[in-house]
Amino acid sequence: MALLASIIAQIIKIIFYSVKHRSFSFDRALGYGGWPSSHAALVGGLSAGIYFVEGASPAFAVSVILATVVIRDAIGLRGYLQEHGRILNKLIKDLPDNLEYKYPVLEEKIAHTIFQLISGAILGIIIVFFIMRM
């Protein structure tokens, strides 16, 4: 169920990106960041599924801790990596042309916004809720 929530979130992300930019980018569609967060949908759906089956159990507590770590890293750690990528890309562009080509361009859009994470988690919970009601 949680995996299905993640897949649906990723499909929504691909459609939203393609419509917004009027083009399809396979790399961007499967890359990090964007709305909604499929990682948050996965862990939100996982926690919701465990809660619907077991209630407030130790497994549910572990899933909430896992969700907290995943969501925190999606905004915190990836935010730092995004900023480092932006700065390193700027430094590389400042190099002489004969040296610039030696370094890869780093991804600069890998972190999520709080809105992307919250909406992803809510999407995951809603999808699991509807599946559990069937």
Side-chain half-sphere CA neighbours of 113 within 13 A = 6
- Sole residue written with tokens 């390193």: 88
Q: Read off the pLDDT of residues 88-130 as tens digits, 9 standing for 90 and up.
A: 999 999 999 888 888 898 888 888 889 999 999 999 999 999 9
Q: Which amino acid is at 17?
A: Y
Q: Is 86 contained in some domain?
A: no
Q: Is 87 contained in some domain?
A: no
Q: Is 47 contained in some domain?
A: yes
**What pTM value is reported for the model?**
0.81
Q: Is 58 contained in some domain?
A: yes
Cis peptide before 36 (omega within 30 of 0): yes
Q: Is 69 contained in some domain?
A: yes
SS3 108: coil
Domain that holds residue 11: 2-76+111-133
Q: Is 63 contained in some domain?
A: yes
- Give the C-alpha distances (Å, rounded to integers) separating 113 from 34, 87, 109, 110: 8, 19, 11, 10
